[in-house]
A = this chain, B = another copy of it.
Amino acid sequence: MTKSAYAMITVEEALRMVLAQAQPLPPARVKLADALGLALAEDALAQDPMPPFPSAGVDGFAIRVEDGRAPRAFQGEQMAGVVSGLRVAPGGAVRITTGAPVPPGADAIVMVEVAEEVNGQVILRHLPGAGDGIRPVGQDIRAGEVVLSRGTPLGAAEIGLLATIGKGEVLAHPRPRVAVFSTGDELVEVETALAPGKIRDSNRHALMAAVRASGAEPLSLGVARDNPADVEAKIDEALAAADAVISSGGVSMGKLDLVKPLLERRGTIHFGRVVMKPGKPVTFATIGGKPLFALPGFPVSSLVSFELFVRPALRRMAGHQQVTRPRIRVALAHDVQHDAARTEFQRAVAAYEDGQVVARTTGFQGSGRLLSLVGANVLLVLSAGRGDFAKGETVEALVVGEIY
């Protein structure tokens, strides 16, 4: 009757412990072209206003409103990007293109759709109001304005803003490098034919993809064989190369559980059992401040525990403030069996139906059945402490994909 040495803790406690250890990586200078998805590690300040000069918001003619609807004397053209030296005289008009500096003297642009030049005269079908068609200095950005504050995740618009204010490089938290290895004498490489007793190593590939999808950089360390020296060598290699380490397999309670004793000797195990299904034996440790996640060997167990604990840690290390997935309420499309002993994360497909989000589980929820994750856009959170759920009940769900 082997008993685990590790206290069984809740999912919430486990996540708190992970986030208490995972710290944002030191900021580094990153080129704008490489910054997509990173978290900004500085306040980004505009030196110049935008627009930096009074700028034509439309194509048309720069005029003086006080001249009324009378035809104007055509004075010439003000293109974008050049200094024409033109000045709109009383009774005059200057052709202007969008984005060009508005010539001194003008106080409006009449749009090309309602004006035209005929034989040196500009005819107006419509008289604009003062300021119409002109983008004043600083309309979009004021000089000295903090346009993006520290911690902002950098998407396309944010990268455009950084370009606008002249930042070709920014200070950002780098992508965490994450070493991934599997453990087990039963594992062979993907393109190997199966021999008796062998299966292919799928976890490493799945976890590396999950690392990449979370915005971090995976490093493949292959497979550790079922002996302490091989596992320790992998951990040493991982710690030397990476900011965080993920292993899978070798953490349940059998004679060959190799990872936990090693982590205990080399660092601190923060937890070794969580009252959840799948993923109960998930283990979290630190060695010299670096987080190590020893995930269960079953494929679904490893990906679900990645989702619940590793992804938030990697997001935190990448400097993000929002590190967990959105949680919503979904209605169950059918009865759902649930064991009250553990919080269970069932894979489901959620969709909008008559204005509410309705979820259907993805069939047999075995810990080995990766097919139960295919197409799943939510993880139903079926709490410990109560049993089966009935069709129509609403439950909490973690949103892991787009809901249509």
Of A135, A154, A209, A253, most buried by chain B (CB within 10 Å of CB) is A209
Q: Which residues of B contact A403 (CB under 8 A)?
A: 326
- Within 8 Å by CB of A374, from B157, B184, B404, lies B157
Task: Report which A residues bind B (CB closer than 8 A).
Answer: 1-3, 32-33, 35-37, 48, 50-53, 57-60, 77, 79-83, 95, 97-101, 112-116, 125, 135, 139-141, 147-148, 152, 154-168, 184-187, 189-194, 196-210, 212-213, 220, 226, 249, 252-257, 297, 299, 303, 306, 322, 325-326, 328-329, 352, 355, 366-371, 373-376, 399, 401-404
Q: Are B191 and A148 in contact (CB under 8 A)?
A: no
The residue on B at minimum CB distance from A218 is B33
List 20 contacting pairs A-B, 8 Å CB cutoff, sorted by A: A1-B113, A53-B196, A53-B197, A79-B226, A80-B256, A82-B185, A83-B196, A99-B186, A101-B196, A112-B253, A140-B366, A140-B368, A141-B369, A156-B207, A161-B370, A166-B191, A166-B200, A168-B190, A322-B402, A399-B402
- Within 8 Å by CB of A185, from B80, B165, B185, B257, lies B80
The residue on B at minimum CB distance from A48 is B194
Give Cα A275 to B48, complex, Å. 33
A299 to chain B, nearest CB (A): 5
- Within 8 Å by CB of A197, from B82, B191, B367, B374, lies B82
Cβ-closest 4 pairs across A and B? A160-B206, A59-B254, A81-B185, A81-B186
Q: Are A371 and B147 in contact (CB under 8 A)?
A: yes
A287 to chain B, nearest CB (A): 25
A150 to chain B, nearest CB (A): 14
A310 to chain B, nearest CB (A): 11
Give Cα A376 to B97, complex, Å. 30
If over half of A's interface residues share one DSSP class (helix, strand or loop), that class is named, otherwise mixed; here it is loop
Q: Are B198 and A81 in contact (CB under 8 A)?
A: yes
Give Cα A125 to B2, complex, Å. 12
Known: A1-B115, A83-B196, A205-B33. Contact between A152 and B374, CB under 8 A?
yes
Give Cα A241 to B265, complex, Å. 55
A152 to chain B, nearest CB (A): 7
Known: A1-B125, A161-B202, A198-B81. Contact between A297 and B191, CB under 8 A?
no
Q: Which residues of B contact A322 (CB under 8 A)?
A: 402, 404
Q: Which residues of B contact A366 (CB under 8 A)?
A: 135, 139-140
Known: A190-B166, A253-B113, A254-B98. Contact between A156 and B210, CB under 8 A?
yes
Q: Which residues of B contact A404 (CB under 8 A)?
A: 322, 326
Known: A83-B196, A326-B402. Contact between A157 and B370, CB under 8 A?
yes
Q: Are B33 and A208 in contact (CB under 8 A)?
A: yes
A396 to chain B, nearest CB (A): 12
A181 to chain B, nearest CB (A): 14
Known: A81-B197, A156-B209, A186-B80. Contact between A371 and B141, CB under 8 A?
yes
Q: Which residues of B contact A256 (CB under 8 A)?
A: 79-80, 97
A243 to chain B, nearest CB (A): 20
Q: Are B255 and A59 in contact (CB under 8 A)?
A: yes
Q: Which residues of B contact A369 (CB under 8 A)?
A: 139-141
Q: Which residues of B contact A79 (CB under 8 A)?
A: 185, 226, 256
Q: Are B206 and A140 in contact (CB under 8 A)?
A: no
Given A77-B255, A157-B374, A161-B371, 11 additional A-B pairs, CB 8 A: A1-B115, A35-B209, A81-B184, A82-B185, A82-B197, A97-B255, A99-B186, A148-B374, A156-B206, A163-B201, A166-B192
- Within 8 Å by CB of A158, from B160, B191, B367, B374, lies B374
A182 to chain B, nearest CB (A): 10
A56 to chain B, nearest CB (A): 9
Q: Which residues of B contact A158 (CB under 8 A)?
A: 374
